[in-house]
Amino acid sequence: MLRFAFLLPLFGGLPAHASAFEVPSADARLIVAGGIENGAYRVALELDLPDGWHTYWRNPGDAGIPPIFDVARSENLQDFNVEYPAPVRYTDGAGTSMIYKGRLLLPIRAVPARPGEPVTLAVRVLYGLCAEVCVPAEAEVTARLDPDSAVDQAAKDDIAVFEARVPVRADDARLTIDHLGFDAKTAKGSADVSVADDGRLVDLFVTAPAKWYAAPPAPVRADGGRRRFAVALEGPSGATGTNGVELNFTLVEKDRAYEIIRRLDAVAE
């Protein structure tokens, strides 16, 4: 069985009036595409977020937390992987976050330990539900995954819509880190990033490795067919440089999204 840590302290610091604030519920369920396919089941967690409320991407940005999953009560489950469709940028007085609104499907790949036997997929997820205040929300959903189940075409098509918004790995020259600065005394720095744009680029997001923080890319300007961004960085205490550090960039275009990895030690400081 797989276990994921619950980071409940991250929900601390709610406004004093939050308990008196009327918080709507978000409907949750598991959508199953059908029987086993290429060694795994195609499933999705559906969250129907109330109007005016949002939740967070896998990297929330300046505020919020990502969804946190626990599948420990599942049976016959060997591997569980969640994919995250590209988010949208949200800016308020507290900073910039990457969020989802409305109806959200998070595609899931569930691999059975014994492929010929059914899987009981029991998912518990904690997530932030935010509007004027941010409050912890929780959902517990269960589905039986049977290798002999017929294809549910409506569910399969529904999942495919959100799978199409999941960034695909790319490695080309459209994104460059033009300058990197890092102060070993403060373990803080910044990167100047530019992206080739033929009119399709919508936004740029970034995720740093564990113990590092990369702020949401701040748009600077557009020139010469490129969009330029500034990314503030902060390393763990004692970090003396950026060697070995990789940044995971998500480029969102009008019809698709890409994931590009850049190693900071490849950039001259």
Q: For strands 168-169 and 257-263, give the pairing.
A: parallel
Is the pLDDT reported for residue 3 higher than 80?
no
Average pLDDT, the chain: 89
The pTM of the full predicted model, rounded to 2 decimals, is 0.86
pLDDT band at 140 (very low <50, low <70, confident <90, very high): very high
Longest CA–CA separation in the chain, Å: 60
Query: How confident is the model over 143-158, as pLDDT tens digits?
Result: 999 999 999 999 999 9
pLDDT band at 9 (very low <50, low <70, confident <90, very high): very low
Is the pLDDT reported for residue 28 higher than 90?
yes
Give the count of beta carbons closer than 10 Å to the beta carbon of residue 203.
20
Query: How confident is the model over 222-258, as pLDDT tens digits?
Result: 999 999 999 999 999 888 889 889 999 999 999 899 9
For residue 102, with 0-12 CB atoms within 10 Å meaning exposed, 13-18 middle and 19 or more buried, which class applies?
exposed
CA–CA separation, 206 and 217 (whole Å): 7
Query: How confident is the model over 69-128, as pLDDT tens digits?
Result: 999 999 999 999 999 999 999 998 778 999 999 999 999 999 999 999 999 999 999 999
In 3D space, the residue among 94, 190, 75 whose CA is nearest the CA of residue 144 turns out to be 75
pLDDT band at 8 (very low <50, low <70, confident <90, very high): very low
Q: Are 103 and 92 in contact (CB under 8 A)?
A: no
